[in-house]
Amino acid sequence: MDNPHRARFERDGYYIAANVLHQDLVDRLNALGDHILAQQDPEHFAQHKTTGSMVLIDWAMTCDHPAMAELVAHPNMLSVLDRLGFDQPKFGHGRIISKPPHSPPLFWHEDGRFWNDPVSYTTQPIQVFLMYYLTDTTPQNGCLRVVPGSHRKRHPLHDRISPRHTKELAAYENPDDPGFSRVDDEIDVPVKAGDLVIGYGNLLHASHANQSAERRTVLTMWYYPDFTNLPERTRATIVAAEGHNSHFTAAAPQTRAMLAPLKIEYDGDAEPIEIESVPGPAFK
């Protein structure tokens, strides 16, 4: 491996790039996030106490809001991915995850859903998260926590935590659940607003409680960084999992031009692999 950035990413399962978004875009995304959160009903927040919120960012939202479209195709982000050796990333969807003041921690989980695909047992990433925190984060206001290397090696947590995101975990029904425990090899990932944290979807991660008096928002954006180099069946699976972006054709021409290279497209006839969110016995 002659790319030290890629080697670190493959070893640790995550990679931090500082100062990717300018303050102006962070401010516009904060305003957009607050506006969209204000439209959710109280039930949404009751169901998602541990994340705070879980609002889908789909292609329609991306095409309709210039700040979101700018984020999805941001040139600084594309340079960071290029530095890691990914020169044709594709965008799937995202989430607005916003912890209100004085809210609980987020449980340990991994978001891999391609565990039936042999590629998940290699270091070639299928799906990665790009997390943009819109405020500076610390352990006190709910920064990210990760277990480095847990995307490629089974960790005791894999056998202790629920392999799925249950309603009980999301609603913080049992604070004594092992999902809320601390582990020796976890590390905190505090960042500044506008930094970018990239991680393998199947990296074990969690976040601290927000003990501050301010809201803490992250936009988690899901990309397929190496889409064009993945086997055909994996590409067919991704297309089946992400659905079609019919809204795209209705977007303004400038937005369409900006987003077009990030669209997921596969028109072959390979059979998709069944989605599986639990690692199999080959994960050791």
Ligand X SMILES: O=C(O)CCC(=O)C(=O)O
Interface with ligand X (CB under 6 A): 51, 95, 97, 106, 111, 144, 205, 207, 218, 220
Asked if residue 241 lies in contact with residue 93, where contact means CB atoms within 8 angstroms, the answer is: no
Task: Give whichever of 90 and 95 is closer to ligand X, judged by the CB atom.
Answer: 95
Q: How far is the CB of 161 from ligand X (least distance, A)?
A: 13
Task: Give whichever of 144 and 196 is closer to ligand X, judged by the CB atom.
Answer: 144
Residues whose CB is less than 8 angstroms from the CB of residue 280 and which lie 6 or more positions away in sequence, other chains included: 115, 116
Asked if residue 125 lies in contact with residue 222, where contact means CB atoms within 8 angstroms, the answer is: no
Distance between the two ends of the chain, CA-based, in angstroms?
Answer: 23
Task: Give whichever of 217 and 234 is closer to ligand X, judged by the CB atom.
Answer: 217
Q: How far is the CB of 273 from ligand X (least distance, A)?
A: 22
Task: Give whichever of 62 and 207 is closer to ligand X, judged by the CB atom.
Answer: 207
Q: How far is the CB of 122 from ligand X (least distance, A)?
A: 22
Task: Give whichever of 110 and 251 is closer to ligand X, judged by the CB atom.
Answer: 110
Distance of alpha carbon 203 from alpha carbon 2, whole angstroms: 23
Q: How far is the CB of 107 from ligand X (least distance, A)?
A: 9
Task: Give whichever of 89 and 94 is closer to ligand X, judged by the CB atom.
Answer: 94
Amino acid at 8: R
Where are the extended beta strands (E) located within 100-229?
106-109, 128-133, 144-146, 187-189, 196-200, 205-207, 216-224
List the 14-17 sheet strands across, edge first.
14-17, 196-200, 128-133, 216-224, 90-99, 55-57
Q: How far is the CB of 205 from ligand X (least distance, A)?
A: 5
Task: Give whichever of 84 and 191 is closer to ligand X, judged by the CB atom.
Answer: 191
Cα dist from 179 to 26, 30, 104, 106, 212, whole Å: 31, 29, 12, 8, 22
Distance of alpha carbon 25 from alpha carbon 20, whole angstroms: 10
Q: How far is the CB of 223 from ligand X (least distance, A)?
A: 13
